[in-house]
């Protein structure tokens, strides 16, 4: 098996309140997860979030549609 993931070039903490909605790996239901950081991967910036007790970036998350990011309420 080959690892096709691009390394993270930079990582910065996220301000509180950012969330991402993904498909829960156990139930298949939508799950809202906290964004804890932002990662520069290649030429793009992706959220780093906690889901099902693990830390993920959008490209790494194995199930469901592209994560939906929601900014904090003002």
pLDDT tens for each residue of 15-49: 999 999 999 998 999 999 999 999 998 889 999 99
CA dist 50 and 64 (Å) reads 16
Distances (CA, A) of 29 to 1, 2, 4, 16, 42: 29, 29, 27, 24, 30
Q: Are 34 and 49 in contact (CB under 8 A)?
A: yes
Q: For the chain, what percent of residues have pLDDT higher than 70?
A: 91
- So what's the pLDDT on residue 5? 64
Query: In the predicted model, is pLDDT for residue 1 greater than 50?
Result: no
Sequence-distant (≥ 6) Cβ neighbours of residue 24 within 8 angstroms: 30, 31, 51, 52
Alpha carbons 70 and 62: distance in angstroms, whole number: 20
**pTM given for the model:** 0.81
């Amino acid at each position: 098996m080959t690892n096709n993931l691009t390394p993270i070039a930079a990582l910065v903490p996220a301000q509180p309140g950012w969330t991402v909605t993904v498909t829960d790996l156990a139930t298949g239901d939508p799950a809202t997860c906290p964004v804890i950081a932002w990662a520069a991967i290649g030429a793009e910036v992706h959220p780093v979030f906690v889901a099902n007790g693990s830390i993920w970036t959008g490209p790494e998350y194995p199930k469901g549609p592209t994560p939906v990011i929601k900014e904090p309420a003002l």
